[in-house]
Amino acid sequence: MGNLHTTGTKQALDVETIRSQFPILHQQVNSRPLIYFDNAASNQKPELVIKALEHYYHCDHANIHRGVHTLAERATTAYEETRKITADFINAPEAEEVIFTKGTTEGINLVASAYGRAFLQEGDEVLISNMEHHSNIVPWQLLCEEKGLILKVLPLKDNGEIKWEVLDQLLTPKTKMVSLVHASNTLGTINPIKNVIRQAHDLGALVMIDGAQAAAHLEIDVQDLDCDFYAFSSHKMYGPTGVGVLYGKRRLLEKMKPYQGGGEMIKEVSFEGTTFSDIPHKFEAGTPNIADVVAFKQAIEFIEGIGKSSIAAHEDQLLKQATEQWSKIPGFRAVGTAQQKVAVLSFVMEGIHHFDLGVMLDAKGIAVRTGHHCTQPLMECYGIEGTVRASFSAYNTEEEVDIMSGHLKDITNKLRS
Ligand code: 7TS
Protein backbone atom coordinates (compact mmCIF):
# COMPACT_ATOMS: atom_id res chain seq x y z
CA MET A 1 0.00 0.00 0.00
CA GLY A 2 1.70 3.19 -1.21
CA ASN A 3 0.35 5.49 1.47
CA LEU A 4 1.22 3.43 4.52
CA HIS A 5 4.45 2.58 6.26
CA THR A 6 5.02 0.44 9.29
CA THR A 7 6.49 1.80 12.48
CA GLY A 8 7.05 -1.06 14.91
CA THR A 9 3.72 -2.80 15.18
CA LYS A 10 1.72 0.30 14.32
CA GLN A 11 0.82 1.34 10.80
CA ALA A 12 1.24 5.07 10.35
CA LEU A 13 0.32 7.15 7.35
CA ASP A 14 3.05 8.10 4.96
CA VAL A 15 1.84 11.67 4.95
CA GLU A 16 4.52 12.90 2.56
CA THR A 17 3.39 10.41 -0.10
CA ILE A 18 -0.20 11.41 0.50
CA ARG A 19 0.67 15.11 0.26
CA SER A 20 2.46 14.55 -3.02
CA GLN A 21 -0.87 13.49 -4.51
CA PHE A 22 -2.52 16.87 -3.75
CA PRO A 23 -1.26 19.55 -6.17
CA ILE A 24 -3.09 22.40 -4.40
CA LEU A 25 -1.14 21.93 -1.17
CA HIS A 26 2.15 22.85 -2.79
CA GLN A 27 1.74 26.59 -2.96
CA GLN A 28 2.50 29.69 -0.97
CA VAL A 29 -0.36 31.74 0.43
CA ASN A 30 0.59 35.19 1.63
CA SER A 31 4.24 34.23 1.12
CA ARG A 32 4.00 31.20 3.43
CA PRO A 33 3.51 27.53 2.66
CA LEU A 34 -0.24 26.86 2.68
CA ILE A 35 -1.59 25.11 5.77
CA TYR A 36 -5.09 23.94 4.98
CA PHE A 37 -7.15 23.36 8.12
CA ASP A 38 -10.60 24.03 6.62
CA ASN A 39 -11.32 20.42 5.76
CA ALA A 40 -14.72 20.20 7.45
CA ALA A 41 -15.98 22.84 5.01
CA SER A 42 -14.49 21.04 2.01
CA ASN A 43 -11.28 19.11 1.66
CA GLN A 44 -8.77 19.04 -1.21
CA LYS A 45 -8.68 16.70 -4.18
CA PRO A 46 -5.96 14.21 -5.10
CA GLU A 47 -4.50 14.14 -8.59
CA LEU A 48 -6.46 10.96 -9.41
CA VAL A 49 -9.78 12.74 -8.92
CA ILE A 50 -8.69 15.74 -10.98
CA LYS A 51 -7.36 13.44 -13.73
CA ALA A 52 -10.59 11.42 -13.74
CA LEU A 53 -12.56 14.59 -14.46
CA GLU A 54 -10.19 15.54 -17.25
CA HIS A 55 -10.23 12.03 -18.71
CA TYR A 56 -14.00 11.91 -18.66
CA TYR A 57 -14.32 15.15 -20.64
CA HIS A 58 -11.42 14.30 -22.94
CA CYS A 59 -12.63 10.83 -23.83
CA ASP A 60 -16.00 9.65 -22.58
CA HIS A 61 -18.58 12.41 -22.23
CA ALA A 62 -22.13 11.95 -23.49
CA ASN A 63 -25.52 12.06 -21.82
CA ILE A 64 -26.36 8.91 -19.89
CA HIS A 65 -29.15 6.31 -19.85
CA ARG A 66 -30.45 7.36 -23.23
CA GLY A 67 -28.02 6.79 -26.09
CA VAL A 68 -27.15 3.63 -27.99
CA HIS A 69 -23.83 5.01 -29.18
CA THR A 70 -20.47 4.10 -27.72
CA LEU A 71 -19.79 7.28 -25.75
CA ALA A 72 -23.25 7.20 -24.19
CA GLU A 73 -22.62 3.65 -23.10
CA ARG A 74 -19.20 4.47 -21.70
CA ALA A 75 -20.52 7.45 -19.73
CA THR A 76 -23.47 5.42 -18.43
CA THR A 77 -21.23 2.55 -17.38
CA ALA A 78 -18.83 4.87 -15.55
CA TYR A 79 -21.68 6.68 -13.77
CA GLU A 80 -23.33 3.42 -12.69
CA GLU A 81 -19.97 1.99 -11.64
CA THR A 82 -19.67 4.80 -9.06
CA ARG A 83 -23.10 3.88 -7.76
CA LYS A 84 -21.96 0.29 -7.16
CA ILE A 85 -18.75 1.39 -5.46
CA THR A 86 -20.66 3.84 -3.30
CA ALA A 87 -23.09 1.11 -2.26
CA ASP A 88 -20.14 -1.07 -1.21
CA PHE A 89 -18.55 1.88 0.61
CA ILE A 90 -21.55 2.14 2.95
CA ASN A 91 -22.49 -1.55 2.75
CA ALA A 92 -25.87 -0.81 1.18
CA PRO A 93 -27.64 -4.04 0.22
CA GLU A 94 -28.33 -2.82 -3.33
CA ALA A 95 -26.84 -0.19 -5.63
CA GLU A 96 -30.41 0.97 -6.46
CA GLU A 97 -30.69 2.29 -2.90
CA VAL A 98 -28.00 4.87 -3.68
CA ILE A 99 -29.34 8.12 -5.12
CA PHE A 100 -26.97 10.77 -6.43
CA THR A 101 -27.79 14.29 -5.29
CA LYS A 102 -25.98 17.64 -5.23
CA GLY A 103 -24.89 17.08 -1.66
CA THR A 104 -26.03 16.37 1.88
CA THR A 105 -28.35 19.38 1.79
CA GLU A 106 -30.24 18.04 -1.18
CA GLY A 107 -30.41 14.54 0.35
CA ILE A 108 -32.11 15.85 3.49
CA ASN A 109 -34.45 18.09 1.48
CA LEU A 110 -35.34 15.12 -0.69
CA VAL A 111 -36.40 13.05 2.31
CA ALA A 112 -38.25 15.94 3.98
CA SER A 113 -40.08 16.63 0.77
CA ALA A 114 -40.63 13.23 -0.85
CA TYR A 115 -41.22 11.26 2.35
CA GLY A 116 -42.35 13.97 4.77
CA ARG A 117 -44.94 15.62 2.53
CA ALA A 118 -46.55 12.31 1.66
CA PHE A 119 -46.43 10.41 4.93
CA LEU A 120 -46.23 12.80 7.90
CA GLN A 121 -49.45 14.22 9.24
CA GLU A 122 -50.59 17.11 11.39
CA GLY A 123 -49.53 16.63 15.00
CA ASP A 124 -46.70 14.20 14.14
CA GLU A 125 -43.34 15.04 15.67
CA VAL A 126 -39.91 15.38 14.07
CA LEU A 127 -36.95 15.06 16.43
CA ILE A 128 -33.59 16.72 15.72
CA SER A 129 -30.80 17.98 18.00
CA ASN A 130 -29.41 21.34 19.00
CA MET A 131 -26.13 20.61 17.19
CA GLU A 132 -27.60 20.22 13.69
CA HIS A 133 -26.26 22.03 10.65
CA HIS A 134 -28.84 24.41 9.17
CA SER A 135 -29.39 21.91 6.37
CA ASN A 136 -30.78 19.47 8.92
CA ILE A 137 -32.98 22.11 10.56
CA VAL A 138 -34.51 24.30 7.87
CA PRO A 139 -35.97 21.54 5.63
CA TRP A 140 -37.79 20.12 8.68
CA GLN A 141 -38.94 23.57 9.79
CA LEU A 142 -40.40 24.22 6.34
CA LEU A 143 -42.14 20.85 6.43
CA CYS A 144 -43.47 21.46 9.94
CA GLU A 145 -44.97 24.79 8.88
CA GLU A 146 -46.54 23.29 5.80
CA LYS A 147 -47.96 20.17 7.44
CA GLY A 148 -48.62 21.28 11.03
CA LEU A 149 -45.91 19.02 12.48
CA ILE A 150 -44.05 19.66 15.70
CA LEU A 151 -40.28 20.03 15.74
CA LYS A 152 -38.62 18.76 18.93
CA VAL A 153 -34.97 19.41 19.75
CA LEU A 154 -32.56 17.30 21.82
CA PRO A 155 -30.59 19.66 24.10
CA LEU A 156 -26.80 19.74 24.61
CA LYS A 157 -24.49 19.38 27.58
CA ASP A 158 -21.64 21.85 28.14
CA ASN A 159 -19.09 19.45 26.62
CA GLY A 160 -20.92 19.24 23.30
CA GLU A 161 -22.64 15.90 23.81
CA ILE A 162 -26.39 15.49 23.58
CA LYS A 163 -28.24 15.15 26.90
CA TRP A 164 -29.20 11.59 26.13
CA GLU A 165 -31.02 11.26 29.45
CA VAL A 166 -33.91 13.27 27.95
CA LEU A 167 -34.23 11.07 24.86
CA ASP A 168 -36.99 9.05 26.52
CA GLN A 169 -39.05 12.21 27.09
CA LEU A 170 -38.60 13.58 23.58
CA LEU A 171 -38.82 10.35 21.60
CA THR A 172 -42.42 9.23 21.92
CA PRO A 173 -44.99 7.32 19.84
CA LYS A 174 -45.81 10.70 18.27
CA THR A 175 -42.28 10.94 16.82
CA LYS A 176 -42.41 9.89 13.21
CA MET A 177 -38.98 11.05 12.05
CA VAL A 178 -35.66 11.45 13.85
CA SER A 179 -33.02 13.35 11.86
CA LEU A 180 -29.64 13.41 13.51
CA VAL A 181 -26.11 14.36 12.63
CA HIS A 182 -23.58 11.50 12.80
CA ALA A 183 -20.67 13.84 13.61
CA SER A 184 -21.03 17.55 14.34
CA ASN A 185 -19.25 19.97 12.00
CA THR A 186 -18.83 22.53 14.79
CA LEU A 187 -18.17 20.43 17.89
CA GLY A 188 -16.73 17.28 16.35
CA THR A 189 -19.03 15.19 18.58
CA ILE A 190 -19.74 11.70 17.26
CA ASN A 191 -23.28 10.69 18.16
CA PRO A 192 -24.17 7.11 19.21
CA ILE A 193 -26.55 6.84 16.30
CA LYS A 194 -26.95 3.07 16.36
CA ASN A 195 -28.61 3.23 19.80
CA VAL A 196 -30.86 6.07 18.76
CA ILE A 197 -31.90 4.25 15.59
CA ARG A 198 -32.86 1.18 17.61
CA GLN A 199 -34.86 3.17 20.12
CA ALA A 200 -36.60 5.19 17.40
CA HIS A 201 -37.53 2.04 15.50
CA ASP A 202 -38.94 0.50 18.70
CA LEU A 203 -41.42 3.38 18.71
CA GLY A 204 -42.12 3.25 14.99
CA ALA A 205 -40.16 6.34 13.93
CA LEU A 206 -37.87 6.50 10.89
CA VAL A 207 -34.31 7.77 11.19
CA MET A 208 -32.41 10.00 8.78
CA ILE A 209 -28.69 10.45 9.42
CA ASP A 210 -26.70 13.48 8.26
CA GLY A 211 -23.32 11.90 7.55
CA ALA A 212 -21.62 14.94 5.99
CA GLN A 213 -18.80 14.98 8.54
CA ALA A 214 -18.66 11.23 9.07
CA ALA A 215 -18.29 9.74 5.61
CA ALA A 216 -14.55 10.42 5.22
CA HIS A 217 -13.65 9.48 8.78
CA LEU A 218 -15.93 6.82 10.27
CA GLU A 219 -16.84 3.34 9.03
CA ILE A 220 -20.39 3.45 7.72
CA ASP A 221 -22.42 0.30 7.48
CA VAL A 222 -26.01 1.22 6.78
CA GLN A 223 -27.18 -2.37 7.32
CA ASP A 224 -25.54 -2.61 10.71
CA LEU A 225 -26.82 0.84 11.68
CA ASP A 226 -30.24 -0.01 10.24
CA CYS A 227 -30.80 3.69 9.44
CA ASP A 228 -33.62 4.46 7.03
CA PHE A 229 -31.79 7.26 5.22
CA TYR A 230 -28.15 8.37 5.26
CA ALA A 231 -26.87 11.47 3.39
CA PHE A 232 -23.34 12.70 2.67
CA SER A 233 -21.30 14.90 0.30
CA SER A 234 -18.44 13.95 -2.01
CA HIS A 235 -16.59 17.26 -1.58
CA LYS A 236 -15.88 16.58 2.11
CA MET A 237 -14.25 13.25 1.22
CA TYR A 238 -11.61 14.21 -1.38
CA GLY A 239 -14.19 14.11 -4.18
CA PRO A 240 -15.64 16.77 -6.48
CA THR A 241 -18.20 19.38 -5.45
CA GLY A 242 -21.77 19.04 -6.68
CA VAL A 243 -22.16 15.35 -5.83
CA GLY A 244 -23.88 13.88 -2.83
CA VAL A 245 -25.29 10.53 -1.88
CA LEU A 246 -28.61 9.68 -0.35
CA TYR A 247 -28.97 6.11 0.80
CA GLY A 248 -32.53 4.98 1.50
CA LYS A 249 -34.12 1.62 2.21
CA ARG A 250 -35.71 0.21 -0.93
CA ARG A 251 -39.18 -0.23 0.56
CA LEU A 252 -39.24 3.44 1.63
CA LEU A 253 -37.81 4.83 -1.60
CA GLU A 254 -40.31 2.80 -3.59
CA LYS A 255 -43.31 4.20 -1.78
CA MET A 256 -42.03 7.80 -1.83
CA LYS A 257 -43.18 10.36 -4.37
CA PRO A 258 -40.59 11.74 -6.82
CA TYR A 259 -38.69 14.78 -5.56
CA GLN A 260 -38.56 16.54 -8.91
CA GLY A 261 -40.30 15.88 -12.20
CA GLY A 262 -38.61 15.82 -15.58
CA GLY A 263 -36.69 13.67 -18.01
CA GLU A 264 -35.15 10.34 -17.00
CA MET A 265 -37.42 9.82 -14.00
CA ILE A 266 -40.47 8.62 -15.94
CA LYS A 267 -41.64 5.38 -17.49
CA GLU A 268 -44.40 6.94 -19.58
CA VAL A 269 -45.80 10.43 -19.81
CA SER A 270 -49.20 11.31 -21.17
CA PHE A 271 -51.60 14.11 -20.35
CA GLU A 272 -53.83 11.56 -18.65
CA GLY A 273 -51.08 10.62 -16.22
CA THR A 274 -47.44 9.73 -15.82
CA THR A 275 -45.74 6.63 -14.48
CA PHE A 276 -42.35 6.86 -12.87
CA SER A 277 -39.07 5.03 -13.30
CA ASP A 278 -37.89 2.54 -10.74
CA ILE A 279 -35.44 3.61 -8.05
CA PRO A 280 -32.91 5.20 -8.14
CA HIS A 281 -33.83 6.97 -11.42
CA LYS A 282 -37.17 8.12 -10.01
CA PHE A 283 -35.14 10.53 -7.86
CA GLU A 284 -32.61 11.66 -10.46
CA ALA A 285 -34.63 13.88 -12.79
CA GLY A 286 -32.80 15.58 -15.65
CA THR A 287 -29.18 15.26 -16.71
CA PRO A 288 -27.19 14.62 -13.55
CA ASN A 289 -23.68 15.76 -12.66
CA ILE A 290 -22.15 12.92 -14.67
CA ALA A 291 -18.50 14.00 -14.69
CA ASP A 292 -18.29 14.61 -10.97
CA VAL A 293 -20.07 11.37 -10.13
CA VAL A 294 -17.60 9.51 -12.35
CA ALA A 295 -14.64 11.19 -10.61
CA PHE A 296 -16.15 10.56 -7.17
CA LYS A 297 -15.25 6.90 -7.65
CA GLN A 298 -11.58 7.86 -7.44
CA ALA A 299 -12.18 9.66 -4.14
CA ILE A 300 -13.74 6.55 -2.62
CA GLU A 301 -10.86 4.45 -3.91
CA PHE A 302 -8.39 6.95 -2.48
CA ILE A 303 -9.96 6.61 1.00
CA GLU A 304 -10.18 2.85 0.75
CA GLY A 305 -6.63 2.61 -0.57
CA ILE A 306 -5.33 4.16 2.64
CA GLY A 307 -8.02 2.75 4.92
CA LYS A 308 -10.46 4.87 6.87
CA SER A 309 -9.21 3.63 10.21
CA SER A 310 -5.63 4.65 9.36
CA ILE A 311 -6.82 8.07 8.23
CA ALA A 312 -8.90 8.47 11.38
CA ALA A 313 -6.01 7.41 13.63
CA HIS A 314 -3.76 10.01 12.00
CA GLU A 315 -6.39 12.76 12.29
CA ASP A 316 -7.08 11.82 15.92
CA GLN A 317 -3.39 12.22 16.67
CA LEU A 318 -3.44 15.73 15.15
CA LEU A 319 -6.58 16.57 17.12
CA LYS A 320 -4.95 15.40 20.35
CA GLN A 321 -1.79 17.36 19.63
CA ALA A 322 -3.68 20.55 18.70
CA THR A 323 -5.97 20.29 21.74
CA GLU A 324 -3.01 19.82 24.10
CA GLN A 325 -0.87 22.57 22.60
CA TRP A 326 -3.51 25.21 22.06
CA SER A 327 -5.14 24.64 25.47
CA LYS A 328 -1.95 25.96 27.05
CA ILE A 329 -2.39 29.35 25.35
CA PRO A 330 -3.94 31.86 27.78
CA GLY A 331 -7.54 32.69 26.82
CA PHE A 332 -8.04 29.55 24.65
CA ARG A 333 -11.27 27.66 25.21
CA ALA A 334 -12.25 24.61 23.16
CA VAL A 335 -15.92 24.49 22.15
CA GLY A 336 -16.80 20.79 22.02
CA THR A 337 -14.89 18.43 24.26
CA ALA A 338 -16.96 15.28 23.84
CA GLN A 339 -15.44 11.87 24.55
CA GLN A 340 -15.90 10.74 20.95
CA LYS A 341 -14.91 13.30 18.33
CA VAL A 342 -13.93 13.54 14.71
CA ALA A 343 -10.90 15.75 14.07
CA VAL A 344 -12.62 19.12 14.43
CA LEU A 345 -11.33 21.65 16.94
CA SER A 346 -13.52 24.72 17.43
CA PHE A 347 -12.38 27.34 19.87
CA VAL A 348 -12.77 30.87 21.13
CA MET A 349 -9.87 33.02 22.25
CA GLU A 350 -10.82 35.40 25.01
CA GLY A 351 -10.76 39.05 23.91
CA ILE A 352 -10.13 38.29 20.21
CA HIS A 353 -12.92 38.18 17.68
CA HIS A 354 -12.95 34.95 15.67
CA PHE A 355 -12.95 36.85 12.34
CA ASP A 356 -9.86 38.82 13.36
CA LEU A 357 -8.07 35.65 14.36
CA GLY A 358 -9.06 33.99 11.08
CA VAL A 359 -7.70 36.92 9.06
CA MET A 360 -4.45 36.98 11.05
CA LEU A 361 -3.97 33.25 10.55
CA ASP A 362 -4.65 33.66 6.83
CA ALA A 363 -1.85 36.24 6.73
CA LYS A 364 0.40 33.38 7.90
CA GLY A 365 -0.88 31.05 5.17
CA ILE A 366 -3.24 29.13 7.46
CA ALA A 367 -6.81 28.43 6.30
CA VAL A 368 -9.31 27.94 9.13
CA ARG A 369 -13.03 28.57 9.20
CA THR A 370 -14.53 31.27 11.39
CA GLY A 371 -18.13 32.11 12.26
CA HIS A 372 -21.18 30.10 13.18
CA HIS A 373 -20.48 27.21 10.76
CA CYS A 374 -24.17 27.12 9.77
CA THR A 375 -25.08 26.06 13.31
CA GLN A 376 -26.62 29.24 14.73
CA PRO A 377 -28.90 27.48 17.25
CA LEU A 378 -25.78 25.74 18.62
CA MET A 379 -24.02 29.10 18.96
CA GLU A 380 -27.04 30.49 20.77
CA CYS A 381 -27.05 27.50 23.12
CA TYR A 382 -23.46 28.26 24.16
CA GLY A 383 -23.96 32.05 24.17
CA ILE A 384 -21.32 32.72 21.52
CA GLU A 385 -21.41 34.31 18.08
CA GLY A 386 -18.87 32.11 16.44
CA THR A 387 -15.67 30.13 16.78
CA VAL A 388 -12.43 29.56 14.95
CA ARG A 389 -12.45 26.01 13.63
CA ALA A 390 -9.50 23.88 12.58
CA SER A 391 -10.34 20.53 11.02
CA PHE A 392 -7.87 17.90 9.85
CA SER A 393 -7.50 15.55 6.89
CA ALA A 394 -5.12 12.75 5.91
CA TYR A 395 -2.61 15.20 4.37
CA ASN A 396 -2.18 17.43 7.44
CA THR A 397 0.98 17.10 9.51
CA GLU A 398 2.13 17.46 13.11
CA GLU A 399 4.49 20.16 11.91
CA GLU A 400 1.55 22.17 10.59
CA VAL A 401 -0.15 21.94 13.99
CA ASP A 402 3.11 23.14 15.62
CA ILE A 403 3.29 26.08 13.23
CA MET A 404 -0.28 27.11 14.03
CA SER A 405 0.50 26.80 17.76
CA GLY A 406 3.40 29.21 17.31
CA HIS A 407 1.28 31.74 15.42
CA LEU A 408 -1.59 31.50 17.91
CA LYS A 409 0.86 32.25 20.71
CA ASP A 410 2.42 35.18 18.85
CA ILE A 411 -0.92 36.67 17.85
CA THR A 412 -2.40 36.46 21.33
CA ASN A 413 0.80 37.83 22.93
CA LYS A 414 0.89 40.79 20.54
CA LEU A 415 -2.77 41.64 20.96
CA ARG A 416 -2.56 41.46 24.71
CA SER A 417 0.70 43.37 25.17
N1 7TS B 1 -24.44 18.63 7.46
C2 7TS B 1 -23.26 18.84 8.08
C3 7TS B 1 -22.98 18.20 9.40
C4 7TS B 1 -22.29 19.65 7.46
O5 7TS B 1 -21.12 19.82 8.06
C6 7TS B 1 -22.58 20.24 6.23
C7 7TS B 1 -21.63 21.20 5.56
C8 7TS B 1 -23.81 19.95 5.62
C9 7TS B 1 -24.71 19.16 6.28
C10 7TS B 1 -24.17 20.47 4.26
O11 7TS B 1 -23.36 19.86 3.30
P12 7TS B 1 -23.42 20.33 1.77
O13 7TS B 1 -22.33 19.56 1.12
O14 7TS B 1 -24.76 20.00 1.26
O15 7TS B 1 -23.17 21.80 1.79
N16 7TS B 1 -20.77 21.82 6.47
C17 7TS B 1 -19.96 22.89 6.21
C18 7TS B 1 -19.11 23.40 7.19
O19 7TS B 1 -18.95 22.96 8.31
N20 7TS B 1 -18.47 24.46 6.65
O21 7TS B 1 -18.90 24.64 5.40
C22 7TS B 1 -19.84 23.66 5.10
- If asked whether residues 218 and 343 sit together in one domain, one would say no
Is 23 in the same domain as 68? no
Question: Which CATH number do you get for residue 317?
Answer: 3.90.1150.10
Report in angstroms the alpha-carbon separations of 294 from 54, 65, 147, 245.
11, 14, 38, 13
Predicted local distance difference test score (pLDDT) of residue 7: 43
Residue 235, CA distances (Å) to 46, 51, 82, 241 in order: 12, 16, 15, 5
In b/e form, how buried is each residue of 294-304, taking b as 16+ CB within 10 angstroms? bbbbbbbbbbe
pLDDT in the model for residue 203:
98
**Do residues 269 and 316 both lie within one domain?**
no
- The answer to whether 185 and 341 have CB atoms below 8 angstroms apart is no
The domain containing residue 349 runs over which residues? 4-41+308-416
Q: The pTM is what? A: 0.97
The answer on 326 and 289 residing in a single domain is no
Same domain membership, residue 124 and residue 104: yes
Task: For residues 54 and 157, state if they share a domain.
Answer: yes
Residue 1: what pLDDT?
A: 42
Query: Do 256 and 401 belong together in one domain?
Result: no
Does residue 6 have a pLDDT over 60? no
Atom in ligand 1 nearest the alpha carbon of residue 104 = 14
Q: Mark whether 233 and 378 lie in a shared domain.
A: no
103 lines ligand 1 (CB under 6 A): yes
Average pLDDT, the chain: 95
Judge if 198 and 229 occupy the same domain. yes
- Report pLDDT digits (tens) over 89-139: 999 999 999 999 999 999 999 999 999 999 999 999 999 999 999 999 999
Ligand 1 centroid–CA 227 distance in Å is: 20
**Final residue of a domain: which of 270, 304, 338?**
304
For the ranges 45-54, 139-148, 180-189, 255-264, which has the lowest average pLDDT? 255-264
Q: What is the CATH number of the domain that holds 86?
A: 3.40.640.10
| 374 annotated active-site | yes
pLDDT of residue 8: 40
Does pLDDT of 269 surpass 50?
yes
Q: What is the pLDDT of residues 348-364, one digit of tens each?
A: 999 999 999 999 999 99
Whether residue 390 is found in the same domain as residue 278? no
62 and 32 housed in the same domain: no
103 shares its domain with 89: yes
**C-beta of residue 396 within 8 angstroms of C-beta of residue 36:** yes
Indicate if the pLDDT at residue 63 is higher than 80. Answer: yes
Q: In angstroms, what is the span from residue 182 Cα to ligand 1's centroid? A: 12
pLDDT at residue number 3: 55
Q: What is the tally of structural domains in the chain?
A: 2
pLDDT above 60 for 222: yes
Answer with the one of 271, 287, 304 that is the final residue of a domain: 304
Q: Is 210 in the pocket of ligand 1 (CB under 6 A)?
A: yes
Cis peptide before 258 (omega within 30 of 0): no
Q: pLDDT at position 10, please?
A: 44
- Residue 245 beta carbon below 6 angstroms from any ligand 1 atom: no
Query: Which residues, listed in sequence order, are joined to residue 231 by a DSSP beta bridge?
Result: 210, 246
153-207 tens-digit pLDDT: 999 999 999 999 999 999 999 999 999 999 999 999 999 999 999 999 999 999 9
Helix (H) or strand (E) holding 54: helix 47-55
CB atoms within 10 A of CB 168: 9
